[in-house]
Amino acid sequence: MNQTNNNNFDLDTTNLNLSEAGILQLSDKILDLQYLEYLNISINEISELNFPVGSLKSLKGLNISLNKFKQIPNFVSELSNLEELSISCLNLGILPDFIGNLNKLEWLDAEYNKLSVLPNSISRLKRLKNLFLAGNKFSTIPKQILALGELESLILSNNVLNNVNNISELYQLKWLDLSDNKIKTLPDSFDKLLNLDYFVLANNPISILPDSIKYLSKLEHLDLTNCNIKFLPENFSQLVMLDTLLLSDNPIKYFPNVLLKMNKLKNIKISECYISGKNKQQLKNKGITLSIIPK
């Protein structure tokens, strides 16, 4: 279709989902929806909007991902109440400076673009809690996000990260995904991430975990799949809340006995390695689900 085939929107609607509707041009009738709070026009063929969408002052959530926009439309800067913005898969090389003016933003999804830097204005998003930057071209943690004191979730998988030494400055993080990068070491200051409960480091060439990891007392999920880990440090057992440990596709020859000291651990996935019958029974007695992946 050439444009939205529904020009008779419910004027009282607060949530409009037009995702995957084959839209080339959005009807300007949408401007009549003055109560609209969430607009999803993702996965269409829209390249521009020729009417003032910024007049939708009630809008709190906007998803324009997977369209034909060459840049973020200027009207976005006028959406002063915006809390959620999804701009993934738009082939963007840069983000506009005005994004820092969206001071109510709590959720920003800019995954699978071509970003290698962020505008300095990002540091003004003091309410931002969730930042998704997977599938871009970052080689280091962007310094602009270190000022985001409320940030709880950071997704930087599928980039080219080789240096994450400043990650510990994001002490409020609860969820961190650094998978599919080029990380060889974690900083000793990693222990400052005391609120971290979900950490994914899979598919990185890291071989040794820092001793400081033992201080992550809230960590519940740790994914080290397909790294270069040969052993776990003895102090690993101090991760007292760890529930799930993914260790498959690492060059571990002997089952890490330190795991038998961990009372909260319930799920272990590991590549085929030597494990005694006694240890298997101990794991069973603890109620631990052990998955052994053939090499």
Tell me: the pLDDT tens digits for 58-105?
999 999 999 999 999 999 999 999 999 999 999 999 999 999 999 999
Distances (CA, A) of 215 to 11, 37, 140, 222, 241: 53, 42, 24, 14, 11
Mean pLDDT for the chain overall = 94
Within 10 A of 12 (CB to CB), how many other CB atoms are there?
Answer: 9
Domain spans in the chain, listed from the N-terminal domain onward: 180-295
Check residue 294 and give its pLDDT. Answer: 87
Q: What pLDDT score does 7 carry?
A: 55
Residue 234 binned pLDDT confidence (cut-offs 50, 70, 90):
confident
Q: What is the pLDDT of residues 267-291, one digit of tens each?
A: 999 998 888 888 889 888 999 999 9
The H or E element containing residue 88 is none
Q: What is the pLDDT of residues 17-43, one digit of tens each?
A: 999 999 999 999 999 999 999 999 999
State the average pLDDT over residues 123-148: 97
Cα torsion 95, 25, 55, 96 to 10°: value is 10
Bridge partners (DSSP) listed for residue 81? none
Domain 180-295 belongs in CATH node 3.40.50.2020: no
**Sorting pLDDT into bands at 50, 70 and 90, what band is 1?**
very low
Taking 70 as the threshold, does the pLDDT of residue 6 lie above it?
Answer: no
Helix (H) or strand (E) holding 281: helix 277-285
Q: What is the pLDDT of residue 2?
A: 42
Residue-level pLDDT at 5: 46
pLDDT at 197 over 90: yes
Instruction: Tell me phi and psi for residue 123, to 5 degrees.
Output: -65, -10
Please check the confidence at residue 187 and state whether its pLDDT lies above 90.
yes
Contact (Cβ atoms closer than 8 angstroms) between residue 173 and residue 153 = yes
Which of 47-51, 213-217, 240-244 bottoms out in mean pLDDT, i.e. has the lowest?
A: 47-51
Q: Are 275 and 253 in contact (CB under 8 A)?
A: no
